[in-house]
Amino acid sequence: MTALFRLVGTGGVIAYRALFNWTTPAMFVGTLLVGPLFQLLFFAYLGRQLGVADDGFYITGNAVLAASLACVFGGTMAVSNERRFGTLGHVLLSPRSRTAVFLGRVLPYAANGLLIAVTTMTAAALLLGLRVPLDALPGLLLTLAVAALACGFFGLTLGAIGLRFRDVWLVSNVSVALLLLLTGVNVPAAGLPAWMRVTGELLPITHAAEAARRLVAGDGFQAAAPQLAAELAIAAAYAVLAALLLKVFEAESRRRASLDTL
């Protein structure tokens, strides 16, 4: 069991340091802390001008969404950068469980996403004057953590798809853009067509954003719990899907001798 935890924990951290491309301080701050804050401000001012919703709606939703950038791209990098750097074959030669190796890699990205979401929410609340009830903070932190984990597993699923399709960055870019649209973070779900709402329900962020909004509104943890549970279920579903896809595509890559094809 200790060896498994070492594989998941230490292995994940080493892979994070090796594969994550935003680790210089300037790049990290610029891309992952300042970028999401400006995104939040853009939608808050747009929503304010159009009278769609109040600032709290946009601050909470976009703070939850802020976790997605690092987690979705990070999860993708966890697989596709191994191939890009020519080390995927070495990883797959290891006699250890693939599932443990790759699922463990999501954890540092999820922690990273949580940091980004908390920073974005704090900065935006200070700038735009959002008051969050003190007793909502533990629940809010839990919600952001679950959202980050769900995004990480979603990113890992996209990374697994990268074993089959070459242009995984296109898939990641489009997915991140779609999260903006489909998760109800910027357009209230009632304003979206039914098929978009249903699609959004199956994506990370949607349920976490709703749970976070209820917590910020002071409705209490009980009111947010069902949405939080739904987000957790989404995270688990993507973790299983990622593990399955990694297994299937690894077998196919070996069969077709296309493991290192870029």
Partner 1 sequence: MIAVGALLHTKQLSRSPFEIATALIVPVVQATLAVYLFRAGGEPGRLLEAAVGAGLMGVWSSVLFGSGGAIQNQRWQGTLEMIMLAPRPPALVVLPITLATALTGTYAMVATLAWGRLLYGIPLTFADPLAFAVAVPGCIIGLGMFGLLLASTFVLLRNANALTNTLEYPIWLVSGMLVPITALPGWTGPIAAALPTTWGARAVREAATGSGPVWPSLGVCLAISLACLALGAIMMTHVERRARAAATLALA
Nearest to 68 by CA among 164, 250, 209, 248: 209
Give residue 260's identity as a one-letter amino acid code: D
**Cβ–Cβ under 8 Å, residues 149 and 112:** no
Q: What is the DSSP letter of 220?
A: -
**Cβ–Cβ under 8 Å, residues 259 and 92:** yes
Please tell me whether residue 198 binds partner 1 under the rule CB under 8 A.
Answer: no
Please tell me whether residue 38 binds partner 1 under the rule CB under 8 A.
Answer: yes
Of 45 and 85, nearer to partner 1 (C-beta) is 45
**Cβ–Cβ under 8 Å, residues 153 and 75:** yes
Q: Which stretch, 38-46, 90-98, 155-163, 251-259, contacts partner 1 (CB under 8 A)?
A: 38-46
Identified binder of partner 1 from the candidate list 7, 100, 178, 217, rule CB under 8 A = 178
**CB neighbour class for 197 (10 Å; exposed up to 12, middle 13-18, buried from 19):** middle
Could you give phi then psi for residue 217, rounded to 5 degrees?
-75, -5
Q: Considering only residues 49 through 68, tell me which ones interact with partner 1, judged by CB under 8 A.
A: 49-52
Please tell me whether residue 87 binds partner 1 under the rule CB under 8 A.
Answer: no
Please tell me whether residue 24 binds partner 1 under the rule CB under 8 A.
Answer: yes
Least CB distance to partner 1 at residue 59 (A)? 15
Tell me the two tokens of residue 124.
């935006």
Q: In the chain, how long is the greatest CA-to-CA distance?
A: 57
Please work out the total of residues on this chain that contact partner 1, with binding judged by CB under 8 A.
35
Least CB distance to partner 1 at residue 66 (A)? 12
Of 89 and 191, nearer to partner 1 (C-beta) is 191
Please tell me whether residue 170 binds partner 1 under the rule CB under 8 A.
Answer: yes
Q: Which stretch, 45-53, 84-92, 208-216, 250-258, contacts partner 1 (CB under 8 A)?
A: 45-53
Please tell me whether residue 199 binds partner 1 under the rule CB under 8 A.
Answer: no
CA angle 110, 112, 116 (to 5 degrees): 115
Least CB distance to partner 1 at residue 28 (A)? 8
**Cβ–Cβ under 8 Å, residues 154 and 71:** yes
Q: Which residues bind partner 1 (CB under 8 A)?
A: 24, 26-31, 34-35, 38-39, 41-42, 45-52, 167, 169-170, 173-174, 177-178, 180-181, 186-188, 191-192
